[in-house]
Structure 1
Amino acid sequence: MKPIILLLLTTLTSGVFGQSNRVDTLQFDKRYTRCEKQWIAFKSKKDKEYSYGYIYIDTQAGFTYDAKGTFTVGADGKYIADTTISKNSSIKYRIAPNWGNVALIPTSRYKELNLPAEPSWLKFYYNYTDTVAHNVRWGWTYNAVNDCEVALLYLHKAYAVKPHAEGLEFEMAYAYNALGQLNNAISILNAGLTYNPKDIMLIRELGYSYLQKADYPNCIRIYKQGIEQCTDKQMDTKSEMALNLSAAYKRSGDEGQYKTWLDNARNWAPAGSPVAEIVKRQQ
């Protein structure tokens, strides 16, 4: 078995993916999240050379790129592959969310690049048997890279089978909130809290839904409920809810309560936390 080299691939070359960058039938117009289990290409650092490989999801690491090699286009239009980098090892990159757009390699070009329909090793990453657990995890993975539309496709499948599966209702509500579908988020969260009224993550997300909807009475009620339930080990969550609670009071015109809850957020926020950094900038 080839050794596996794990790397993090962050921003691809700036300006690479404009509509003018075409090679034959390649179109660099696909976000990597829409290329799961696909062979893709992007422009390399060398002129007229293209890197290519396979995108898949690692259950723990998320979106991953397995580098196959590079190719150029010959005078006859055929793809000329160089797979030196993958000859003796498998080089896998953990894809960062700021990846640029990529191109799908047409199946008609697979023979020229000596590509199978899918890599033989893929079965080790797609060997799940629990459909609910898989769909929740895949929904979480897509949410984590801000492709909430695709996340919901997986999450709805899980919800139809087991609506109160661990983490499912939160992920659905997170996706709905991100897409601005606040009523859907509120409906899912209220159903979840009927089943498990002490789930602090659901409470936190419901408060956020009401805040975004400008339903300040319900927002304030839910956040206070959540803050009362937080333990000493949940100060990150407690301070975040206090900060959002201060925002609800400010937007509803209660300056006194705004300052009170901003001070609470400041006092509760762990040093170096995102909330601590935000309150430093508040008046």
Structure 2
Amino acid sequence: MKKLLFLFIIFSNLVHAQTPKLSFDTKFYDAENRWVLFNKKENQNTYGLGFIYLDPKAGYTFNYEGEVELKKNKFQRLPRLDTTNNIKIRLDVNTFDVYILSDELIKQFALPEKPDWLDAYSVNQDFIQNRVQKASYLNGAGASHKALPILQKAYEEDPHFPGLEFELGYAYNATGSFYKAVIVLNKAIENDPSNFWYYRELGFSLKHLNNLPEAEKIYRKAIELTSDKIQIAEMAINMAQSYYHAKDKVNFDAWKKVVMDNADPNSQFMAYIQYFEENWYKPN
């Protein structure tokens, strides 16, 4: 009986070891220029196969190449039903993590190491314009930690390159380096004092440094420079939140009015105002 049990355990472990395991734990921007699989959807048994690359004009993109099925503990690439259309999916902060194909699976699926068309997207990738654009896509994807070294190097080369100072200030803010953001954005404003985006980011930096008077001053300047109600409401809710935490009712009410004058009644901004008011006298 013990021998049978021992053999059963060995057999179970062997079957378990032979079953391919996929770990969908790689961010799409860490899979640039790689073959990947997207996880199967609920009630499906196939995985999306394709190649991730950076289109300088459109951002990170998944070039769909078909489906892969796990059958009898082995992956099989399924014939693509429609070969006339080239399917490209733009990737963003809401994109699910992916699995990077091993060299063995790339060979098994009869895939080239790199698609022939990839070279067209690699032209001039070292130009500062393309590097700043790549960092912008990384910022937008929530990967400011990866954007920072790209932007810092570009800043050393040409600090006032169009769009660079905003992206660098944004990346510093996103990674909690608020003092560094203030330095970059103040210099940016000296060079271009009518750029709304610099003031928006600088106000955010100052708010998080708890310099509320200066943050308020900068945000009000930003409001003068834009007619975008969503941007105004976002800045106003930032200030209202700060004064809520400071228990400063007078200034809270002033910024609440700015929110209400610009935000959609059903927006998240108004939901925050409602929360602040309902919890005003409750301990944090």
Tell me the TM-score normalised to structure 1 length.
Answer: 0.78
Offset of residue 28 of structure 1: 2.8
Q: 1:146: which partner in 2?
A: 142
Pair 1:23–1:145, CA change in 2 (3 A): farther
| Structure with the greater alpha carbon radius of gyration | 2
More displaced, 38-47 or 257-266? 38-47
Q: 2:7: which partner in 1?
A: none
Pair 1:199–1:270, CA change in 2 (3 A): farther
Structure 2 unaligned regions, length at least 5: 1-15, 278-284
Is 1:52 matched with 2:46? no
Name the aligned partner's letter for residue 209 of structure 2. K
Tell me the TM-score normalised to structure 2 length.
Answer: 0.78
Q: 1:95: which partner in 2?
A: 91
Is 1:164 matched with 2:160? yes
**Is the Cα contact below 8 Å between 1:235 and 1:270 reproduced in 2?**
no
**Is the Cα contact below 8 Å between 1:26 and 1:105 reproduced in 2?**
no
SS at match of 1:56: strand
Q: Deviations over 1:244-279 (max 9, x none)?
A: 333333444431122122112312446766545644
SS at match of 1:90: coil
Offset of residue 160 of structure 1: 2.2
Is 1:258 matched with 2:252? yes
**Is the Cα contact below 8 Å between 1:270 and 1:276 reproduced in 2?**
yes
Query: Paired residue for 1:64, among 61, 68, 86?
Result: 61
Pair 1:238–1:21, CA change in 2 (3 A): farther
**Is the Cα contact below 8 Å between 2:20 and 2:74 reproduced in 1?**
no
- CA RMSD after TM alignment: 3.1
SS at match of 1:164: coil
Larger RCO (alpha carbons 8 Å, 6+ apart):
1
Q: 1:267: which partner in 2?
A: 261
Name the aligned partner's letter for residue 135 of structure 2. G
Q: 2:205: which partner in 1?
A: 209
Query: Paired residue for 2:240, among 222, 230, 246?
Result: 246
Offset of residue 36 of structure 1: 0.9
Offset of residue 139 of structure 1: 0.9
Pair 1:57–1:23, CA change in 2 (3 A): farther
Name the aligned partner's letter for residue 64 of structure 2. A
Is 1:136 matched with 2:122? no
SS at match of 1:192: helix
Q: Deviations over 1:182-205 (max 9, x none)?
A: 122222212212222222111111
Pair 1:21–1:220, CA change in 2 (3 A): farther
SS at match of 1:142: helix
Pair 1:124–1:278, CA change in 2 (3 A): farther
More displaced, 264-273 or 186-195? 264-273
Matches of 1:146 and 1:215, distance apart in 2: 26
Query: Paired residue for 1:224, among 204, 208, 220?
Result: 220
Name the aligned partner's letter for residue 102 of structure 1. V
Offset of residue 88 of structure 1: 3.2
**Is the Cα contact below 8 Å between 1:131 and 1:158 reproduced in 2?**
no
**Is the Cα contact below 8 Å between 1:220 and 1:248 reproduced in 2?**
no
**Is the Cα contact below 8 Å between 1:243 and 1:275 reproduced in 2?**
yes
Matches of 1:196 and 1:69, distance apart in 2: 48
Q: Deviations over 1:123-152 (max 9, x none)?
A: 333334671111111111111111111122
**Is the Cα contact below 8 Å between 2:37 and 2:48 reproduced in 1?**
yes
Structure 1 unaligned regions, length at least 5: 1-19
Offset of residue 96 of structure 1: 4.5
Identity of aligned residues (%): 28
Query: Paired residue for 2:119, among 117, 123, 127?
Result: 123
Name the aligned partner's letter for residue 63 of structure 1. Y
Matches of 1:239 and 1:25, distance apart in 2: 47
Name the aligned partner's letter for residue 258 of structure 1. F
Is 1:177 matched with 2:170? no
Aligned length: 261
Pair 1:23–1:101, CA change in 2 (3 A): farther
**Greater share of helix:** 2
